[in-house]
């Protein structure tokens, strides 16, 4: 029987990954600061543990932990909290690996397409250099810390995830109420790209990287067809049968969200070149098909 150790397992992606692994016969340990809450949100057979030291040596570590970038204004204190939440747990994961008499074969380490910074309509893949913005420097340092595990003969996959779409959690779920009320619309110019991925493909891709012993390095976890914010908005409006005329001007977003508005007003036309070259096939590569699938289930 295989065992997985997951940090960030109570989050949007983590919960679904836990369920998928358990359904496949894996045992799953989830590192958490709140065991009671974890038990209330995790699948029944997942085992919450308070620290890495409380977990059995796994066959795979999946490090998804970190404060949500979009959870509040980016004050200096907030940015420090976001930074430390990612780097400290990753340092702890590497220290745990170093202490193992037999290190786990693979570490899947979370990152984001924010690694590339604001790229306009330039097509970017895993060979593109990191940007020089807050989220870019954060992702770059996060990935560099994870790569320290390679010296212990651990295969490290750095997953640069885009906007993960799910009907009952994540960014899409937060959009649904205003869109259903007819208050949805493009953000700013609407021309910024939104690299997206269906939650089912996100979990499938992580499982693919766990199982594929030749996979290592950086992987964009984004659908092959990134779309602009305006295209996404129109597709969501069509699926919900609602108008999408309520454009939110960029200055308004900047007033409301401060520096964090940069995430919404810029983007990356990121494609999953490395993932597809490794042999992964997507279940959803069209944005309207993905939205239709998710919303018919909600």
> Which residues, other chains included, contact 58 with Cβ-Cβ below 8 Å and sequence gap of 6+?
3, 4, 5, 29, 104
Q: Under CATH, which architecture does the 59-297 domain have?
A: 3-Layer(aba) Sandwich (3.40)
Each domain of the chain, given as residue ranges in start order, spans 59-297
Q: Please list the pLDDT of the chain residue by residue as tens digits (298 residues).
A: 799 999 999 999 999 999 999 999 999 999 999 999 999 999 999 999 999 988 888 999 999 998 888 777 889 999 999 999 999 999 999 999 999 999 999 999 999 999 999 999 999 999 999 999 999 999 999 999 999 999 999 999 999 999 999 998 889 999 999 999 999 999 999 999 999 999 999 999 999 999 999 999 999 999 999 999 999 999 999 999 999 999 999 999 899 889 889 889 999 999 999 999 999 999 999 999 999 999 986 5
135-to-125, 223, 241 alpha-carbon distances in Å: 17, 21, 35
Report yes or no: 10 and 38 within 8 Å, Cβ to Cβ.
yes
């Amino acid at each position: 029987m295989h065992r997985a150790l997951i940090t960030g397992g109570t989050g949007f992606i983590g919960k679904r990954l836990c369920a998928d692994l358990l359904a496949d016969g894996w045992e799953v340990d989830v590192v958490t600061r709140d065991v009671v809450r974890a038990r209330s949100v995790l699948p029944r057979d997942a085992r919450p543990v308070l620290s890495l030291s409380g977990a059995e040596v796994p066959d795979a570590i999946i490090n998804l932990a970190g404060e949500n970038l979009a959870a509040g204004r980016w004050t200096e204190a907030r940015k420090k909290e976001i930074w430390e939440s990612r780097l400290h747990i990753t340092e702890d994961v590497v220290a745990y690996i170093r202490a193992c008499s037999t290190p786990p074969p693979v570490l899947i380490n979370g990152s984001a397409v924010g690694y590339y910074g604001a790229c306009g309509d330039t097509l970017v893949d895993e060979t593109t250099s990191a940007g020089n913005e807050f989220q870019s420097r954060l992702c770059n340092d996060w990935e560099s810390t994870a790569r320290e595990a390679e010296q212990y003969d651990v295969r490290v996959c750095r997953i640069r995830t885009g906007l993960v779409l799910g009907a009952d959690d994540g960014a899409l779920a937060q959009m649904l109420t205003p869109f259903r009320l007819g208050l949805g619309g493009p953000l700013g110019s609407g021309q910024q790209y939104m690299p997206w991925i269906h939650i089912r493909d996100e979990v499938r891709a992580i499982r693919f990287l766990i199982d594929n012993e030749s996979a290592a390095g950086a992987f964009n976890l984004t659908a092959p067809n990134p779309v602009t914010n305006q295209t996404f908005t129109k597709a969501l409006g069509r699926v919900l049968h609602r108008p999408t005329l309520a454009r939110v001007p960029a200055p308004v977003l900047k007033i409301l969200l401060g520096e964090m508005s940069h995430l919404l007003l810029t983007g990356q036309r990121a494609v999953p070149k490395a993932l597809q070259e490794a042999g992964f096939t997507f279940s959803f590569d069209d944005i309207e098909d993905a939205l239709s699938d998710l919303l018919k289930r909600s």
